[in-house]
Amino acid sequence: MHKRLSLLLALPLTLSLSGCFDDDDDNDVEDMPDQENVAPEAISESFTTQVDTAFSEELTATDADGDALTYAVGEEPQQGTLELSDDGSFTYTPSEEVTGEDSFVYTVSDGVNDPVSATITITIEAQQVATSEYVRSAFNQAPTDEPLPVNGRELQQDVEDPDAFNDLIDQ
């Protein structure tokens, strides 16, 4: 009877220990739950330029998973033109003689999640022009030249001598 009891005790102990040394690796990739792909993040930014002055920049977006990102225009600017490259670099050109604020919306996608968007705000400042330079340029134009633009310019008074333009008049 004593042999039978030890055999009955040894059998469950052997079975439970055999599970500790199985060849099934619980760290297999197939056994791991799928991790959810995280959507990219698009960053809204602000830039400043002067009237009639184009500029180039790069959109800022990140993806925590390291997925390749693609960029697209979501909403076009109203006061200028936009050229957007596949890598997120862009060139913005304000319309002629326009000042104020403009904006556009871009979207970025990682190819897995829905695209996300951000807004780029552009301030178009008036161009600072010295009065003496502007007057001389206007006076020396040929009759067939386009008139010098005035809109979007702030003429700064830099002439203190009342005879500063006598050389133009005496010609």
pLDDT tens digits, residue range 120-143?
Answer: 999 999 887 777 777 777 777 787
Overall domain count for the chain: 2
Does any domain span residue 67?
yes
- Can you give the pLDDT at residue 46? 98
- Residues 47, 113 within the same domain: yes
User: Do the domain assignments include residue 70?
Assistant: yes
Q: 120 and 47 in one domain? A: yes
Q: Please report the pLDDT score of residue 89 as a whole number.
A: 98
Is residue 22 included in any domain, yes or no? no
The residue ranges of the chain whose pLDDT is under 70 are 1-33, 150-159, 165-171
Same domain, 150 and 121: no
Please indicate, yes or no, whether residues 108 and 147 belong to a single structural domain of this protein: no
pLDDT tens sequence across 50-60: 999 999 999 99
Q: Return the percent helix, strand and coil in the chain, to nearest 5.
A: 20, 35, 45
Residue 78 lies in domain: 41-125
Is the domain of 53 the same as that of 114?
yes
Q: Are residues 55 and 89 in the same domain?
A: yes
59 and 98 belong to one structural domain: yes
Q: How far apart are the first and last CA of the chain?
A: 135
**Model confidence, pTM:** 0.65
Q: Residue 90: which CATH number?
A: 2.60.40.10
**In degrees to the nearest 10, what's the CA dihedral of 137, 138, 141, 143?**
170
pLDDT of residue 161: 73
* Cα–Cα distance for residue pair 97/141, rounded to 1 Å: 20
